[in-house]
């Protein structure tokens, strides 16, 4: 039995959906612990593509229980659309459970998010405009609507009538937008409540029961470490805590039940939205990575900014999350390259910097210090073991392991489930982990 947290080790979009889907095969319970519909996970199974925003990727396994935890914010309209999508693809959602204390994204949240981001002009954050930040803000202000409130018809009518009128003042006076009709909002959300009611539970209690039963639990984060509200590249961050520590709060469990933490990172780096990006490639190479990696957001369709692998943010992710191992995704995107660069440090005002600056202005001045490795000029998409990889590809992975000082447990070589090398199963224990050997100062393979 093992309870494992899966987190993004970069700026999100690392391929967590596929890795969670893979690990869900060994999990009894999968818990989504933060974020909202600003997250997008794409999973390809037997030629079918599933795009999920709220429902945990483990839903594709009929026996796996999937829980949307209290740390998430739920847009019921989008959630119901996902349920309909799964039904149309003959996937049962009977094992989906929703925390009764998760907060609900309302129409005024979306409107305020869109208007606020537009008003920022050159100072925009780059949000998805899906209402996530305002939903978390209402949670902190203690005026939010929770799933349990949706289930209380009369209570919801009273609470929403006051809240909509309160938000209308903001919409009209601050943003010059037309007011919402309280009755229309109430009736719309009562309809959502009827559809979701069978799935609503005390999620913390349900997870505690799974722990007592010694079931394997997988905690799934959205976004990535560098987008964490407290530990990311503020202010260009999300409104919740994607880091491993957020799993305990967002699921309602104590830290002593967590056995392992696996970080997911691309073999290069991408970022969506605004903010500094030291290794960004604004040239033909960046376009090539974007094209080969199909780097467009699952949620918004926005083009992702692409750059070389950044080991500075990687080491930061290892430290902040206490990573036990890594999953490296999209290695195949690099197949066509003659040579590959890796950022091993930064230079700030002529001084070398090996660690991520917490000062946003300093970070904006960071310039990457690169080391260059030879490419392999061979397809890796059909490789299924480490021995199948070209020597240069294996050397590249070893170099990343050396820089990060953490084992690589999984290597992904495409979107499909079977395009994966599982070096070590993080749930069922070590088999053969790619590891940095500190003693010899060389990356090695532990047999």
Instruction: Name the token pair of 238.
Output: 């999300």
Strands 260-266, 3-8: pairing kind: parallel
Q: Which residue has the tokens 């990060």?
A: 404
Phi, psi for residue 421 in degrees, rounded to 5:
-110, 115
Q: How far apart are CA 230 and CA 217, in angstroms?
A: 26
Return the exposure string of 396-423: e unless at least 16 CB atoms fall within 10 Å of the residue's CB, then b. bbbbbbbbbbbbbbbbbbbbbbebbbbb
Out of 41, 53, 109, 199, the active site residue is 41
Instruction: Name the token pair of 9.
Output: 């080790």
Q: How far apart are CA 346 and CA 331, in angstroms?
A: 24
Which of 37, 24, 22, 28 shows the shortest CA–CA distance to 78?
37
Is 41 a residue of the active site? yes
DSSP per-residue codes, 143-176: ---BHHHHT-HHHHHHHHHHHHHHHHHIIIIIT-
Burial of 224 (0-12, 13-18, 19+ CB in 10 A): buried
DSSP conformational letter for 110: H
Instruction: Name the token pair of 142.
Output: 């203690």
Measured at the CA of 336, the angle between CA 41 and CA 410, to 5 degrees, comes to 45
Q: How far apart are CA 438 and CA 321, in angstroms?
A: 21
Phi, psi for residue 308 in degrees, rounded to 5:
-70, 160
Q: Which residue has the tokens 């202005």?
A: 361
Q: How far apart are CA 65 and CA 59, in angstroms?
A: 7
Out of 13, 21, 138, 332, the active site residue is 13
Catalytic site positions = 13, 41
């Amino acid at each position: 039995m093992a309870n494992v947290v899966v987190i993004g080790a970069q700026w999100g979009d690392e391929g967590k959906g596929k890795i969670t889907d893979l690990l869900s095969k060994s999990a009894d319970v999968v818990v989504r612990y933060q974020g909202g519909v600003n997250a997008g996970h794409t999973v390809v199974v037997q030629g079918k593509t599933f795009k999920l925003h709220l429902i945990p990727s483990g839903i594709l396994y009929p026996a796996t229980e999937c829980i949307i935890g209290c740390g998430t914010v739920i847009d019921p309209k989008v959630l119901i659309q996902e349920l309909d999508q799964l039904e149309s693809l003959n996937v049962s959602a009977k094992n989906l459970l929703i925390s009764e204390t998760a907060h609900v994204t309302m129409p005024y949240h979306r409107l305020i998010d869109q208007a606020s981001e537009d008003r920022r002009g050159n100072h925009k954050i780059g949000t998805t405009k899906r209402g996530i930040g305002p939903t978390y803000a209402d949670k902190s202000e203690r005026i939010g609507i929770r799933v349990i409130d949706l289930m209380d018809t009369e209570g919801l009518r009273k609470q929403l009538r006051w809240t909509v009128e309160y938000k209308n003042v903001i919409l009209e006076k601050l943003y010059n937008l037309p007011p919402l009709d309280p009755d229309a909002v109430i009736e719309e959300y009562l309809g959502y409540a009827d559809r979701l009611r069978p799935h609503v539970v005390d999620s913390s209690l349900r997870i505690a029961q799974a722990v007592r039963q010694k079931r394997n639990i997988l905690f799934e984060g959205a976004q990535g470490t560098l987008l964490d509200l407290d530990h990311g590249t503020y202010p260009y961050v999300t409104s919740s805590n994607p880091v491993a520590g957020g799993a305990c709060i967002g699921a309602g469990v104590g830290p002593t039940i967590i056995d392992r933490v696996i970080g997911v990172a691309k073999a290069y780096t991408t970022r969506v939205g605004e903010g500094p990006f030291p290794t960004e490639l604004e040239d033909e190479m960046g376009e090539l990575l974007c094209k080969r990696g199909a780097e467009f957001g699952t949620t918004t369709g926005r083009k992702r900014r692409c750059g070389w692998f950044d080991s500075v943010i990687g080491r930061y992710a290892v430290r902040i999350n206490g990573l036990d191992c890594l999953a490296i995704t999209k290695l195949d995107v690099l197949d066509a390259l003659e040579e590959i660069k890796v950022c091993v440090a930064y230079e700030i005002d002529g001084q070398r910097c090996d660690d991520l600056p917490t000062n946003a202005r300093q970070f904006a001045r960071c310039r990457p210090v690169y080391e260059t490795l030879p490419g392999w000029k061979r397809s890796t998409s059909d490789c299924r073991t480490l021995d199948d990889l070209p020597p240069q590809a294996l050397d590249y992975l070893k170099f990343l392991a050396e820089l990060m000082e953490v084992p690589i447990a999984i290597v992904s070589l495409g979107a499909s489930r079977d395009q994966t090398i599982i070096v070590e199963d993080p749930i069922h224990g070590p088999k053969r982990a790619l590891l940095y050997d500190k003693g010899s100062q060389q990356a090695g393979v532990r047999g």
